[in-house]
Every structure is written in structure tokens, then in C-alpha cells.
Structure 1
Amino acid sequence: MGFLKTNSNELRMFECNDKKMEEVLGSDKIKELLEHKEYKEEIVMHEYKGVIFPLDTIKPSVLQALETWEARPEDVFVVSYAKAGTTWIQEVVSAIANGGDLEKLNKSHTFFRVPFIEATFFAGLDVCSCLLVESHLPGHLLPPDVFKKKARIVYVTRNPKDMCVSYYYFHIMNPTLPTPKSWNEFFDDFYSGKIMYGPWWEHFLFYWNLRHEPNVLFVKFEDMKMDLKAVVERVSKFMGYTISDDVINGIVDHCSFASMKKNPMTNPDGLFDQAHKKLDQQKKGNASKEGVTLVEPKQEKISFMRKGKVGDWRNHFTVAQNEAFDAFVHEKLAGSGLSFDF
């Protein structure tokens, strides 16, 4: 559920129905959101308080406004570094908050049930009214009131090798981000932390050091792969819900990777397809003005929810990259107690 502000500033409720995503995205309300100018040919990055962001999709004005965001103790923030399992855990959180009502969940896309607070994409939504929100912001950029009011934070992390690979493919498939020239170039950027949302290790450790706070739950992607039911039960208890075993089982089935990938209300591919179409139209329009005929390269479509596996990094890291990364992880996480299953 989301809220779209009209020109008169009245709040109009937006709720996706159970049509196919491409039909839902044909609605005037979604078209308004997709008409944002972030889907343009040239991607410009900017730096805000030491962290890199794409200028059109995460604006300085939005980040600045978040500094005075008014949080509530009952709010639940789903937080993670990018491609750590955010969409997965946010659907778990949303399913629990909705009492495991799967019919209700499948009438509204997860991106609108748990909106992305720093994204310009949601600038037209009354995100402040939502009890569930998501963010990739590092701790020093999350609204200070979240910590002051002790809002609940569900933080999901993932072994950084797999996260790096997933982030690489996300940059390729996402038209609002710069496309890496090569895997090696992206690896170097990720390794150095010169990438959107900054150094992954600083992001991890900020929230890891809060893990003993009663309002913070630290979850690992690998634990979700190993025993999703146990994680659903942990999150449910953390959020203060008592749910029957049958409902828990239904949530587990609904939130399995296979189920979420084929569900248009949990897989954001439809949103990105629209973004690609918008960008293609702009490119063709510009080429037509210049009298140029474009020949589009053929490439395999990459899904937002690609594999959802542990250990896919082995298909990408060279021996030298793996050795360097292992030493780097040891250096950055030494003494923290934070470790990963690779």
C-alpha cells in the first residue's frame, strides 16, 4: 500500500491489483512515477557526506530532508547494503506485519508496501505514513530520529563476495546506474569502497555494533538460505507478533526465492522493464534527431532476482582476487566477531 499525492496535496490511496505487472504498470498512477527524469541516457553521480549516489535517483535534497525525518517507535526499518537480500527480508517483514494474509500481499507490490525512503522514485509517495520502510543508507545517513525514537531496525547482511557479484549484475541490468566496463573494474571499485553506498565493511560494522540493542535485529542472507522458517520466527518475535505455525509455514512458502522470483508482486523486474523501455525510447528519439540508426546489441536479460545462491562468487573471482579479498576481509573485520559463510 502506498499513497500518491495529487496536485491538491490530497492523499489518494494506491493499491496494485492482482493483474499482471505489465498491466499494473500501465496505470496512470504508476506512469506518473515512471515519468521521472532519472531514466535518462547520461548517469551523473554525486557525493553526499562521503558517500556516492546517482544524482537523479537519490538526490541531495532528499538525503538532506531525511535528516529531519520524524520516526515513531512502531516503525520498522528494513536496512541493508545493496544486494544483501533486502527485497527478500522486506517481504518477510511485510508478510508478518500483514498477519500472513497472502491474498492481501499479492494485491500490492512489495516496493509500495515497503517503500525505499531515499529514492527519488518514491518522491510522490507519502512514505512518512508507512510503518514499514526500507533503506540502503549507511548508519550516519539514516534519519537520526530512528535511533532517538528506538524504531525497530531489521538489518540483513550477506557475505561480501556474493554481494559483490550480485551488485555487479545489478549495475548491468539497472538503467539508472552506470554500467561497469568489466567485472575486473567493478571488483576494484567494490574492493576500494568507491561505489554507491560507500564501503560495505563500514556499513556492516555500524549496524553489527548495534546488534545487542533491543530494537535491532541482525540477520544474515546465508541463515535465510539455510533455514528460512527459523528466520521468519525470529523476525516475528522481534516485531512483537504471535503467529501460528500454519501461518508461519505459509509465509515461508510465499517468501521462498523461487516463489518470489515468479511473483510479479515481489519481483521488481516489471518496474525495471518499464525503465528500460523509457530509456530506449529516449535513445531512439535522440538518434532520430541526429539522423543516426541505432543497432541494439543483443544480450541476455538479467533478472533483479538472479540466482539467490550462496557461493556464486566462485564463478567470477580469479584466484588473485579471492586471495586479496580474503586478506582484506580479515583486515577490516578483525576483532569485530562478524564472520560469514562463503
Structure 2
Amino acid sequence: MYFPYLRGKQFELLALRDFATGNQSKEKLVPIIEPVKQQFGGLNTAISTMLDSGLQFAMILNPKDGDFKHPNVNNDILGSLTSLVGMHDSWIPAYIYKRNANVLLNHIDQNNLQQVMIILPNGADVNDESLMDFLRNERVSYIVNGNNGNRSTRARLLRLNKQLISLEDRFNNKSRNADYADPDDEFFSDDFAYYNADGLYGFSDYTSLPKDFIEGGMMPYAIAIHLTYQKADDQIFVHHFVSDNNFDQSNVRGKFHEAAIKIAPFYGNGIAHTAAVDELIEKASQEDGYPGLGYIKKLSILNHLELINGILSD
């Protein structure tokens, strides 16, 4: 099972909506969504689309990033997500653990939530008895553990007899888009091939995005399109398609074309491609095909979702 971790920003939500409506077989993919905006209209729309299409998801009810970093913000996520009302069997309540077991248990009890997911982004301290007692609670069904490389930690978590999911930051984030040109091809993950052998219920990553939340951004000097692909039976790589003339912030449309025209020759070497890749290739062939930076990100995410879903569904 694959549990992609996504923030509830506009183009992440659009990627989820497109995936939900564009893929008939999606039982192997359960997105984890962390709200980051107090305006819930886009999130409610995405939830309705996922519910209507039968895509199960986990919703974080105590988000920590974006608008929810501020102490005075309305954090009644359940009350704000009206699309979740009466749909308890179709989604998983999720919480980020930060030494706040009592607070989480109170919220779980007050809302009579079952089969809860607990997320430990930086990994579990299995020597913390208060944490381990909390994870043993009968209402906790899923544990998402970051930095899952420690075998002894994994073994002790497995003994809790919960559904254990690894969470790893697989994207090699760089400060400048131009830096992705060298190397332009990097190992991304083999989690999909070995999570079962490791005794895990599933695996999670931040898709083709970095772990750290970024509120916004400036107009880049370079355009970089990040596309994951299956390089071998047990390996996923990410290829970075980068523009060439990156000396200033001008001519973003031209830079998109420089980057995007490299996609078709790369995939022409017999590499299987997704509907998202096909759309990028089509836009590269159009005179005015530049769709905007957010849309490029959406297609990068969508490609990754379609890729992993296709591998797990075979």
C-alpha cells in the first residue's frame, strides 16, 4: 500500500482530484492530506471528488504547517470539513504526534473516532514508554513512522501489531532549480519493492516534492520538471528536465519549452510513461503550451501517483 503525504495546497489537491477521477483501480493508494489553508473550499471539493470516486484517504486533524502554525487560527478541522460528515468508513482520521498523547486522546474520544492513524514525521522514540502506551491504544490502527531505517525501532513497532507504514523524504531538494541539471538523473526509491519483505503494511513519501513545507515562491531563474519513472524492477529514479538559459528571470514560457522538449526523447527510449507525462509532451509541442508553474507541479505529482499506483496494481 502506498500512502503519499501531500499538503492541502491548490495544485496538490488538483493532482488528487485528477488521480481520483482518472484511475479506475486505486485500492493500493491512500493519500495522507495535511491541511495548510484556513479556507477549506478547495479541500472540501477534493474530498467530495475522492469520496465519489472511491479513493480512500487519511486526513490530518491537527495540522502544523501553513496557516496552522499560528496559535490563534481556527483549528477545528472536523467542523470545517463538511464533506466528511457521515462518511466515517471512507476516510482515516490522522494525527501528528509531538509529545501530545493526552491532547490527541481527548480529541479522539470527544469525536468518537476509530481506526486512527498516528504520524511520527521524525521517527518514533521506542524508549519513550508514554509514546508506546499511546500507540498500544485500541483506537490506534496505523502508525506512520519517519526515518524508518533503524531496524530495532521497526521491530519494536511491529510488535505492537498495528499497521506500520514507513515515511521517508525521497526527494533530493536543492536550493536552485538550475542545480538539478547535474546530475539530472537520480535514484529515488525502492520502497515499493521491499516494504512487504520488511514486514510493513505500506510506505509513504512526499511524492516528487521536498519534505519541508514552502509557503510560496518567487519567479525562478530556471524551470525544472521532476518526473519519477521505473528504471528497473526494484528501482524508481527521478529525472530532472531543466531549462538551458537560466541567467535571469525572464522568458519563463521559453524556459518551459526548453525543459519540456527533453521529455519525449527521454521516454522514447522504451520507458513506460503515464497520462501526466503524455500531457507534458503534448504541451511541449504547442506554441503556447506553457501551463504555469503550479500546473507543472500538479503534473509532476500526478505522474508519481500514477506511476506507483500502476506498479502496485500490476
- Structure number with higher relative contact order (C-alpha < 8 Å, ≥ 6 residues apart): 1
Is the TM-score greater than 0.5?
A: no
TM-score between the two structures when normalised by the length of structure 1: 0.26
